[in-house]
Structure 1
Amino acid sequence: MKTLFRLLRRLVVLVCIAAVLLMALPPLAREADRLLYPRKYSRQVEQWAAEYNLDPLLVYAFIRTESGFDPAATSSVEARGLMQMTEETFIWLRSKIAPDEGLTFDELYDPDVSIRFGCYYIHLCMERYGGDVATAAAAYHSGWGTVDNLLRMEEHSSDGQTLKGFPYNQMHHYVEKITASYAVYTRLYGG
């Protein structure tokens, strides 16, 4: 009889431990996800996302995808900073939003400059492509000319405004990363 009571007591303890673990796992998993999908540079992201009418969570998705939140990141094509902008794109955007500021390409390593310019470029892409995140992401990555050409082809766009597929491997992979990351940010931090 004592053996049966001991076994029952152990079973109750194990059931209690299992219940506690089951209750603790979702919050722990959520915290692990938050470590993998951080909101670094939140002051700058919130400021520039508001300035350019963007969802800050989308901006975090771009930064995470582009640089992994490394402000010193430089790509193989010399794109720089958190939002990985090329010199040509930087000069063009500077002429639009900061023509008198004397900013240099090297200043894209400054998180505030990179996020400011990156947010403006995302804003332009979203505006140009009717707010479609995937098409805008394709344009951010591959350029407006490439996306505009694809939009003219019926096999890639039925409406001439959004892409229904991404025919180039790098573009496809990039758009998938942005949209998946944005979905996770929205799940973790959205309203």
Structure 2
Amino acid sequence: MSIENVTARISELQARLAQFAPARVSGSGSGFATELAGARVATTGAASGGTVSGADVVAEARKYLGLPYVWGGTDPTKGMDCSGLVQVVYKSLGYDLPRVSYQQAASGRPVADLAQAQPGDLLAWDNSSRNNGVDHIAIYIGDGKMIEAPRTGLDIRVVDVPSTPDVIRRIIDQPAAGTAGTAPVSARAATGTPYADLIDAAAARTGVPGSLIAAVARQESGFDPRAVSSAGAQGLMQLMPGTARGLGVTDPFDPAQAIDGGARLLRSLLDRFGRTELALAAYNAGPGAVSRYGGIPPYRETQNYVRTVMAMVS
């Protein structure tokens, strides 16, 4: 029996097992499984004012790149399947999603099409006619790419979205733009942004939202590629010479190199600290300061920097 046939058979068994859930919830006229799948999950993120962003979801998911696919797996140290990855990522951010893909694909709220999808949204497909509902789910990271746990024999990876998803769902509530520390993050730089093509290309390579890269460039240098700070930081992204060398940037005054290096630095800080605000604080004050204080350092400059950049993100 081929791997594809085994996978299809497993999906069929999953769907049949769901039928053994209690038929009804007391006082309700709908099936328990449907109620569970369709209900909007309660989240600590929402309870704390909606501070989780799509970039946070993507940064959390990236921590598991290279981990083996394990069918039925939910262990972030050993391996996970597609829905296990989704559940673990969102659970770490305070969102309690159902376990299997077809239930996850009924959580949150619908997104009309891929053009309207945002980083952190769930993309799902119904690939098999042998079972009802979707059987594969992934996390969108922007610019036509996603993170998935694909199948046995492959590791968790970043790939192009292979086809139009059958279902797109948004789990997190994006707060109003302009709220410090909570602004939604766009995958692309806004129309008219200087060096937008270079920024969008760097965003596609790194998974860092283009609007975040653009906001950092605007705050750091005002988009001046020849800018030099009193401390010696250089170029559009104001990279210190040592930092630039560590990133392989040979000419920080070259816009393409500067943007690529700055985006990769942001990527590493997002992966390390898991939150956009903390990554920005580390970009400004250094990762050591963020680690030392366990959050945004009590420096007025850094606090203003984070607040200003987050207010520009849209």
Which residue of structure 1 aligns with residue 265 of structure 2?
A: 121
Return the letter of the residue paired with 1:47: A
Deviations 1:101-138 (A, max 9, x none): xx53xx111100100100000111111111x1111000
Return the letter of the residue paired with 1:80: Q
Q: Secondary structure at the match of 1:109?
A: coil
Q: Secondary structure at the match of 2:243?
A: helix
Runs of 4+ in 1 over 3 A off after TM superposition: none
Alignment of 1:31-180 (within 5 A): 38-94=192-248, 104=250, 107-130=251-274, 132-151=275-294, 163=295, 165-180=296-311
Cα distance in 2 for residues equivalent to 1:129 and 1:38? 31
TM-superposed deviation, 1:178: 1.0
Contact 2:234 2:240 in 1 (8 A): yes
TM-superposed deviation, 1:180: 1.1
Q: Secondary structure at the match of 1:39?
A: coil
Q: Secondary structure at the match of 2:247?
A: helix
Deviations 1:33-87 (A, max 9, x none): xxxx951101110111110001101111101100111111110011011000001
Return the letter of the residue paired with 2:242: E
Task: State, as a whole percentage, how many aligned pairs show the same letter.
Answer: 33
| Change in CA separation of 1:91 and 1:178 when aligned onto 2, cut-off 3 Å | same
Q: Secondary structure at the match of 1:108?
A: coil
Cα distance in 1 for residues equivalent to 2:192 and 2:304? 21
Q: Which runs of 5+ in 2 are unaligned?
A: 1-190
Cα distance in 2 for residues equivalent to 1:77 and 1:38? 30
Higher relative contact order (CA 8 A, sep 6+): 1
Contact 2:289 2:297 in 1 (8 A): no
Return the letter of the residue paired with 1:128: R
Which residue of structure 2 aligns with residue 160 of structure 1?
A: none
Deviations 1:139-172 (A, max 9, x none): 0111111111111xxxxxxxxxxx2x54111111
Task: Give the aligned length.
Answer: 125
RMSD of the TM alignment (CA)? 1.7
Contact 2:217 2:236 in 1 (8 A): yes
Cα distance in 2 for residues equivalent to 1:38 and 1:89? 29
TM-score, normalized by length of structure 2? 0.38
- Rg bigger for which structure? 1
Cα distance in 1 for residues equivalent to 2:238 and 2:292? 23
Cα distance in 1 for residues equivalent to 2:297 and 2:292? 12
Return the letter of the residue paired with 1:139: A
Cα distance in 2 for residues equivalent to 1:74 and 1:54? 24
Deviations 1:165-186 (A, max 9, x none): 541111111111111111xxx1
TM-score, normalized by length of structure 1? 0.62
Cα distance in 2 for residues equivalent to 1:142 and 1:39? 26
Cα distance in 1 for residues equivalent to 2:192 and 2:272? 28
Cα distance in 2 for residues equivalent to 1:141 and 1:63? 12
Structure ranking higher in helix proportion: 1
| Change in CA separation of 1:79 and 1:38 when aligned onto 2, cut-off 3 Å | farther
Q: Which runs of 5+ in 1 are unaligned?
A: 1-36, 95-102, 152-162, 187-191
Contact 2:199 2:214 in 1 (8 A): yes
Cα distance in 1 for residues equivalent to 2:283 and 2:192? 22
Return the letter of the residue paired with 2:281: A
| 1:181 aligned onto 2:309 | no
